[in-house]
Structure 1
Amino acid sequence: MVINSIKMVIDQKNLLHNIDYLKKLRGKNILPVVKANAYGHGVELIVKALYTSGQKEVAVARYIEAENILKMNLGNDFRVLVFESIGDIELIKNNPNIDIAINDLSELKDFIKAEIPANRMQLKIDLGFGRNGISLSEISELEKFTNENNLKFKGIFSHLFAINYEDGLELMDLFTDVVNSLGKDKFEMIHLQNSAGVMNYNCEIATHMRVGMLTYGLQEVGYFDPNLKQVFSLEGQIAGIRDIEDHKYVAYELKDDLDIEGCKYLAKIKIGYGDGFLKKNEKSKCIINNKEFKIAQVTMDNTFIEVDESVNEGDKILLYNDITKVVNFTGMNIYELLTILSPRIPRVYKY
């Protein structure tokens, strides 16, 4: 590891704890969502840890994400569900470890005609979200087509998008009716709940819960389960200390413009907005030697922190230690904060 670098440390024990806890919470299996570089955590580390623990299927948004995961060559028993429509039939045929989401009825018919096995397909039902999926008006035709062709699928799913609790219950009932009308025995996997849905509901007909944020121990405002453990830690070392008492400038800015009156020492760390650590973090707090210090300036490659005489080069620093405070301070949600963190920041396992 480069000296005094900032890295994201991934705690495998916490990751696997979260999976086990969520399984027991609702008595269902988990389909972990590892899109967007595993929500910024580093998809290779996360997927490897999941597979080693016995998790044989994950989900992503895009084909390119699945392609990169399969290049890890984990095993022929490992599968990746891609949510977006792939479209290229030859691409699908040549990647048998990819399961495909069927987002409209014509797509299903084309793939069956091309002799792609139905046990690689998961039907996406649009319950009114309006983004993609087989519409409710097509369910009768879908039922007829599946019966005529004696099709059994890898899965069926939808998106529990409602904010209002009562609306969510109605969507669960609607999804249950759709699955029962098609025949529950036609599907190996049935999933509806996302992370918020897991916290709010227990969908009885579902076999799996499709979990993103909760996999990583991240919880949105309004939800909190103390049994979930945060998987990442953004940490590193102080790269240098400068006495700025007689300086007029700090990097490209006038010292007087930085609101650091009375500050004698600035500590530098090797992270900046080029790494996805945005200038919105200026004036927020970080932890050095178990004490809070204020971030004074964020540049493209470095960040400068107001410190005192107790801080030395090489001391450990924690960023985003309390993710809820960071969300409130920056006005960004957790998804944004973590997924924009650049590959320039190494992702490493905690040992």
Structure 2
Amino acid sequence: MEISKENIINNVNFLKKKYKKSILPVVKANAYGHGIKIVAETLYENGYKDFCVARLSEARKILENEKLSFCKILVFESIDQSHFSYIKSCDSLVVTANSFQELLTLINSGISSEKIQLKIDFGFGRNGIEPWEISKLNSYIVENNLIFNGIYSHLYATDFDEGKELIDRFNEIVSSLGRDKFQMIHMQNSVGILFYGTQDLMTHMRSGIFVYGLQEEGFFHEGLKQAFSLKGRVAGVRNIEDSKYLAYTLKSDLGNEDYKNIAKIKIGYGDGFLKFNESSYCTINKKLYKILAVTMDNTFIAADDSISDGDEVILYPDIDLIRKSTGMHICEVLPLINDRVERVLK
């Protein structure tokens, strides 16, 4: 998988310039499959030193790189108390209080409020401090004179008016708690950035898929460039006119398309390229070819006489076709590709 350094930096710089806000890149799920170490180092070297991840294990993977020792990493999910000593000792880590009780546990365990961000939940069904707890939270903050690393919420609505209402409610909560209590304030995810642009109260825009130039179906943003390209080479072409099987599958079960040759490439479900990719397409020599079968280590493609050993193969050449051919979103597909497939910074 080739990762374009130029396109990643283009994307974050484009968003920062267009909306005049700091960008908070989300690099969870192995940077949406692009390679968390490659992406984090690329961003860090270009001045982006704040990241978001879902889990502590992802933050630790970033911190294996000593070059990134001065970054700050916000962990979205709740962290077990067995890791609290590590949290306290690591200056780079910022944790989330996903409930009022969790905030109490963190503070009472000796974790500074300046290493904590508050998550507010508006009914997304995941986690966060609920609106009815805000009065109690306010009293606790005032009584203990707390200053936090940040406060955030999540936009789950795609309806414009509903999303705007959530932003207004979030702004009211932040104002009631005290804007000066928080170093960082953020709510818009990538689609939220597209819908609502800059908001005066927000200090950052939290972007996931836009960092990688990926687009939600129906929500296109000009100026973003796709960062990944999944490539390989043809590792054999065979005539199977007289064959009954293709790998483990009866040839008759693969459809009645008019093909006599198959091309093999060295990727399979052991690499995270799953069998749902059967009946999707790849490109060879700038022409679309159908994927017939996926085994653990190999994938077989309906070929013609123009294909030769060593020809370049591009998988997922058009991300707009992925949902149609596989039933999955690109954000579901890419994180499945595991470390047997090397990520290379281009």
Shared fold, TM over 0.5: yes
Counterpart of 1:272 in structure 2 is: 268
- State the SS of the aligned residue for 2:183: strand
Moved more, 156-165 or 259-268: 259-268
Counterpart of 1:126 in structure 2 is: 121
CA distance in 1 between counterparts of 2:257 and 2:124 reads 51
Counterpart of 1:4 in structure 2 is: none
Residues 1:117 and 2:112 aligned together = yes
Compare relative contact order (CA 8 Å, sep 6+) and give the higher one, 1 or 2: 1
- State the SS of the aligned residue for 1:65: helix
Aligned pair count? 343
Residues 1:205 and 2:228 aligned together = no
CA distance in 2 between counterparts of 1:110 and 1:211 reads 29
TM-score, L = length of structure 1: 0.94
Residues 1:106 and 2:101 aligned together = yes
Once the 2 structures are TM-superposed, how far is the Cα of residue 172 of structure 1 from its aligned partner?
0.5
Q: Is the 8 A contact 1:86 1:92 kept in 2?
A: no
Q: Is the 8 A contact 1:23 1:30 kept in 2?
A: yes
Counterpart of 1:62 in structure 2 is: 55
- State the SS of the aligned residue for 1:101: strand
Residues 1:331 and 2:330 aligned together = no
Unaligned runs of 5+ in 1: 1-7
Compared CA separation, residues 14 and 140, structure 1 to 2 (3 A):
same
Q: Is the 8 A contact 1:31 1:209 kept in 2?
A: yes
Q: Is the 8 A contact 1:260 1:296 kept in 2?
A: no
Q: Is the 8 A contact 2:5 2:42 kept in 1?
A: yes
Counterpart of 1:224 in structure 2 is: 220
Once the 2 structures are TM-superposed, how far is the Cα of residue 260 of structure 1 from its aligned partner?
5.0
Unaligned runs of 5+ in 2: none
CA distance in 2 between counterparts of 1:308 and 1:91 reads 57
CA distance in 1 between counterparts of 2:144 and 2:68 reads 31
Q: Which amino acid aligns with 1:29?
A: S
Cα RMSD (Å): 1.4
Residues 1:23 and 2:16 aligned together = yes
Moved more, 98-107 or 230-239: 98-107
TM-score, L = length of structure 2: 0.95
- For residues 1-351 of structure 1, the aligned pairs below 5 Å read 8-88=1-81, 89-202=84-197, 203-259=199-255, 261-350=257-346
CA distance in 2 between counterparts of 1:285 and 1:105 reads 49
Once the 2 structures are TM-superposed, how far is the Cα of residue 285 of structure 1 from its aligned partner?
1.8
Once the 2 structures are TM-superposed, how far is the Cα of residue 86 of structure 1 from its aligned partner?
0.9
Moved more, 219-228 or 108-117: 108-117
What do the CA deviations read for 1:228-287 (whole angstroms, capped 9, x no partner)?
Answer: 100000111111111222222211122222225542211100111222222222222211
CA distance in 2 between counterparts of 1:256 and 1:126 reads 52
Moved more, 187-196 or 88-97: 88-97
Q: Which amino acid aligns with 1:129?
A: F
CA distance in 1 between counterparts of 2:308 and 2:236 reads 8
Compared CA separation, residues 153 and 241, structure 1 to 2 (3 A):
same
Identity over the aligned pairs, expressed in percent?
A: 51
